[in-house]
Structure 1
């Protein structure tokens, strides 16, 4: 089976990493695959290419370059001759349908929607138009995949085709994301973390919905009450030079905050974390939550998307956009005994093993693709 994956982009993000995880987790071995990025190859493109999968970058900067992108897609489709085209994210979904129309043979089309739809007003004007176009054209897709039950419900309520939709959760490489005491010590030495420090971690690119400001406000509250707590933040454009985040952390607490910027070794950084925090006010199925749990880190997370179902009884959930509640959750987790936190971390790891192993998720995609191409 030949499958062409068409993604809005390949920068570091949940959807892009989910695509790579599927391919690396076995999907690439079950099909002849190629990947198209409407933008550039980003950080994920080279990883996909290293799997031996062709990656094509359309370098689309705006709709002005749309004609050039369409021509490029036509060439790729006619050369590759896919049996199925899989779109990733709103723009990628539309491009996937357009690519299928260009193919001379009948080509199955699957869409993949990777976010919740709490409020259209928070989306950029152009993105709102693209989402509306998804609504209008969704009945022409053979399948609409969501990674979150809430995302499915919200998009169906908005008007996307319900009779073509199904949920396939994110999956995780349990060998890459696993407890590793040696790596834990190495990372803590790298950042000169005191041996008795309790490290709270946060991993997310800077974006309003990730709500870094609420996390930092909560972190400051916790730091003032617990002297041995340190914070490790990783993510593109996440630093105190960012105007949105400047002046939240007082000077006297600065030495207890580490900002790494964008990192490609998140699986290593998570080993150093005693507690993981997700502070977003909008998510569908956040990869970082499952990754941290797979590494054995108990989590304090906002109750958004499918976080409640992911965490289960292995962590603490708090309301979104509430730094006071977030601080209370972090304090509660921090005040637990080391043994109690370790027990929660072990339960979190077991939950990911039982429900979200990448191999099981790959099988769900393969089964769907086989049905679509029969």
Structure 2
């Protein structure tokens, strides 16, 4: 099958990583894949066999029109059998394309429980007719879009993200090496958070909770926050306020996330807003204990394999972190249960297979409207 994946960008966000992971999986399964990014720059790893086009779109009418025309020309020449868009700007551009040209079926996937304000919801509603299907990565996110009037309930379904369980798996050797490189003593507990440094990830709350944890326990502990973003200065200030310079590290962008998850004694998600947080699934796939706020998509991932606390509640988060550290990694059966939950329900192979079934079903129902290459 010829699959075009259209993404707002290809930086290191969760949605972008999912696009790249699907591209790699589809290529491995023998399909032709093109990845089109609206914006420049690329941090995710794409397969060599995938065709890549970056439209370098800016938020001006002229640039958007030019990007739409470039996309139209690419679709006419590359001839995909399906267009699968990810994130709001790509979703709307794909629908605009379908409105002005003959296209294969268009699928639009939303990745956040808060896709935007009233104008974006209105844009979704007005362009819904040009999407063959809209999906969301979590039930809460789907319901939020229905409640906002962005899409009728009958025209949006849930399709979760897939977790690469080959890359993210328990690895004792990687744990030893990573902890040694981080300079961690054997009895030091490492708490790990992964996410862009933006307000919706609420990492200031996490630092507040960690300060409470440090004040209430004698157990040596360090917190590492992996990611970059505009909140870095605010987080640095919060670290100084709590005098945690020696205990909290803003680790920046890292390519060794699987090793870090193995090195960690606890993964903590503090987010206010999510869609389906990949890092939670990746932590579980590495058998790492998890504590999380009740952001969208978390409950479906965790099940009974972690603890969930209310968003915005630093004391509750600190208490859950303290309890999890006291419990340690858990028994071999508990560790196996964390990984098995992801392998059985959210593996990348399984999710990619579900997408291919969806693509094939839509393609069968769609008339052959694609234009011959110019």
CA distance in 2, matches of 1:370, 1:162: 22
Q: Deviations over 1:192-228 (max 9, x none)?
A: 1111111111111111110010000001111222331
Match of 1:151 in 2: 141
Matched, 1:183 2:153: no
Contact 1:298 1:341 (C-alpha < 8 Å) held by counterparts = no
Alignment match, 1:57: 54
Alignment counterpart, residue 243 of structure 1, candidates 234, 239, 253:
234
Matched residue, 1:99: 97
Deviates more, 1:90-99 or 1:357-366: 90-99
Q: Which of the numbers 86, 93, 110 marks the counterpart of 2:107?
A: 110
Q: What's the TM-score once normalised by structure 2's chain length?
A: 0.91
For residues 296-321 of structure 1, give each alpha carbon's deviation from its aligned partner in whole angstroms, at most 9, with x where no partner exists: 10100001212112111111110001
- The C-alpha deviation readout for 1:104-150, integer Å capped at 9, x for no partner, is 4x521111111113xx8xx5xxx653332112212321111111111
8 Å contact from structure 2 (residues 109, 135) kept in 1: yes
* 3-state SS of 1:145 partner: strand
1:76-225 correspondence runs (5 A): 76-104=74-102, 106-117=103-114, 123=116, 128-159=118-149, 160-225=151-216
1:347 is matched with 337
**DSSP-derived class of the 1:177 partner:** coil
Distance 1:136 1:350 in 2: 42
Any idea what SS the aligned residue of 2:197 has?
Answer: coil
Q: Does 1:370 align with 2:360?
A: yes
Structure 2: segments with no counterpart, 5+ residues: 365-374
C-alpha displacement of 1:163? 2.0
Q: TM-score, normalised by structure 1?
A: 0.91
Count residues with an aligned counterpart: 361
Partner of 1:340, secondary structure, is coil
What SS class does the counterpart of residue 273 from structure 2 fall into?
Answer: coil
Deviation, 1:264, is 2.1
User: Where in structure 1 are there 5+ consecutive unaligned residues?
Assistant: none
The RMSD of aligned alpha carbons is 2.0
Question: What SS is found at the alignment partner of 2:134?
Answer: strand
**Counterparts of 1:288-367 in structure 2 under 5 Å?**
288-336=279-327, 338=328, 340=330, 343-367=333-357
- Asked if the contact 1:216/1:249 (under 8 Å) is kept, the reply is no
